Chain A
Amino acid sequence: MNDEVGGNKRRARFQALCQSLRPDLLRFAFWLSRDRALAEDVVQESMLRAWKAQDSLLDETAAKPWLLTIIRREYARTFERKRFPTVDVDELIAKEEPMLAAAEEQDISDVRAALMKLPDEYREPLILQVLMGYSTAEIARELELSGPAVLTRLYRARQQLRAACGEDLRLDPQE
């Protein structure tokens, strides 16, 4: 009886945790994959893996980075299982038009389109930094990169985004 009550509480707590983090996890998976349907599948599958591996989560306050890591691995596994041909970014943008164009302002839509075109190696650390609030050290640990490599990718990510959006890119005002 006590086991059952404990199990129910555990399930309820885990379910509540997943539901509360779901928007962030879905956004992360969406920007990782640039495909809403794939993002939903990856998040769903990750939740199942998380439930099975929940004993490895020692600190509930670390649930979000723990789940993000599971999502990254699940997304990578999707690529291992599937043979994706070359991605046509314009097709991706057209496919996700309803989600991307939901912003009322054109400048936000422009940034979203530029994000869709950003190479994966630049987009991923940028999402972790801006959307998930990761520090450079945390990104380096998650992506298994050195700190300087992360900073270089973040710099190039912003450089490409800003160029795509017509921003001033001069590093030296004398240029």
Chain B
Amino acid sequence: MTDHAHYRSAIMADPHDADPELLEHRESCAECRAFTEQLLRFEARLERALLVDIPTPRAVVLPFARKGAQAPRRWLAMAASLLLALVIAAGVWLTLPQRSLAAAVVAHMAGEPDAWQLTDVPVPDADLNAVLKDSNLRLKPDAGVVSYASSCSFRGHKVPHLVVQTPSGPVTVMVLVHEAVRKPKQFDEQGYRGTIVPVPGHGSIAVLMRDLNPGSGDVERIAARVDDSIVWTR
């Protein structure tokens, strides 16, 4: 015999439970039938609430490797396509490369709000080393307190994303071994002030501070200090 409390507990866990005993109780109990109807109305609200709008699809980037020989008759067409793509890419690179890189770095920050905590608790050495080892680097002991370390997806590569606590507040460092820049590039966008500095043979380093940090004008000096703190292992 199913009582009200048992029935309601079961139906709250699964409103579509078709257990015969539950169905029998519902048939015989007007109050529990009313309870179920109310619950199912709420369930419909819940289902609609979970169906959040999905933003415009971003291309799914998959690591498709092209293997095997191409048919000879396609060579010319492929070579021409490749040349055209290179010319276009070079043109884009020469006109807007650093601006787009800075914008991408700032956009990445927007997805990592938790990184900006002011704290003196360092990331465990094992976690930090795990993040750094794939990029073949380590930090000198005097680099400062690293309070956040993550291996992040950035423009198709895994990059170390660190937060170093400095006297001027938390500073984010992204080690961009796949992003070569020709000269330092300062930027001040969306509340972030930063610089991207070239590291010969190792891409570049992006250093950012929140604009509201006191002393955030020192970002170039901090970037130089961060650069000095990195030991490349390869």
Q: State the CA gap A135–B150 with chains docked (Å).
A: 35
Among B90-98, B106-114, B181-189, the one that faces the other chain is: B106-114
- The answer, yes or no, to whether B38 is at the interface (CB within 8 Å) is yes
The stretch of B44-52, B77-85, B226-234 that contacts the partner chain: B44-52
Check: A76 CB closer than 8 A to any chain B CB. no
Docked pose: A136 CA to B8 CA in angstroms? 17
The answer to whether B46 touches A111 (Cβ under 8 A) is yes
How many pairs, one residue from A and one from B, have CB atoms within 8 Å of each other in the complex?
Answer: 144
B113, A95: Cβ atoms under 8 Å?
Answer: yes
Contacts A15-B60, A162-B42 given; does A27 touch B14 at CB 8 Å: no
B127 at interface (Cβ–Cβ under 8 A)? yes
A130 within 8 A of B: yes
What CA separation (Å) do A37 and B127 show in the bound complex?
A: 23
Given A1-B71, A83-B148, A136-B14, decide whether A171 and B9 contact each other with a Cβ distance below 8 A. Answer: yes
- Asked if B54 and A26 sit within 8 Å, CB to CB, the answer is yes
Kindly state whether residue B123 has any CB partner on chain A within 8 Å: yes
Contact flags B121-152 to A (C-beta < 8 A → 1, else 0): 00100010011000000000000000111111
A45–B31 Cα distance when bound, in Å, is 49
Q: How many residues of B contact A (CB 8 A)?
A: 55
Whether the Cβ atoms of A37 and B110 lie closer than 8 Å is: yes
CB of B60 within 8 A of CB of A112, answer no
Contact partner of B53 (CB less than 8 A), chosen from A85, A99, A129, A161, is: A99
Q: Is B67 part of the contact surface with A, judged by Cβ < 8 Å?
A: yes
Is B75 located at the chain interface by the 8 A CB criterion? no
What is the interface residue range for chain A against chain B? 35 or more
A84 proximity list for chain B (CB < 8 A): 114
Q: Which of B52, B110, B149, B150 contacts A27 (CB 8 A)?
A: B52
**List of B residues within 8 angstroms of A19 by Cβ:** 57, 60
Contact between B49 and A23 (Cβ–Cβ < 8 Å)?
Answer: no
B101 at the binding interface (Cβ < 8 Å): no
Residues of A within 8 A of B10 (CB): 151
Given contacts A48-B63, A172-B5, contact A85 B114 (CB under 8 A): yes
In the complex, residue of chain A having the shortest beta-carbon distance to the beta carbon of B6:
A171
- Shortest distance between the CB of B10 and any CB in chain A (Å): 8
Given contacts A40-B58, A115-B49, A127-B50, contact A168 B38 (CB under 8 A): yes
Q: Are A171 and B4 in contact (CB under 8 A)?
A: yes
Is A140 part of the contact surface with B, judged by Cβ < 8 Å? Answer: no
Is B153's CB within 8 Å of the partner chain A?
yes
The B24-83 residues at the A interface (CB cut-off 8 A) are 31-32, 35, 38-39, 42-43, 45-55, 57-58, 60-64, 67-68, 70-71
Q: 5 extra interchain contacts, Cβ-Cβ under 8 A, other than A159-B12, A165-B45?
A: A81-B131, A83-B147, A151-B13, A167-B38, A174-B4
CB pairs A–B below 8 angstroms (10 shown)? A23-B54, A27-B54, A30-B52, A44-B61, A81-B149, A83-B147, A85-B117, A115-B50, A127-B50, A173-B4
Residues of A within 8 A of B (CB): 1, 3-4, 7, 11, 14-15, 18-19, 22-23, 26-27, 30-31, 35-38, 40-41, 44-45, 47-48, 51-52, 81-85, 91, 95, 99-100, 102-103, 107-108, 111-112, 115, 126-127, 129-131, 136, 150-152, 154-155, 158-159, 161-162, 165, 167-168, 170-174
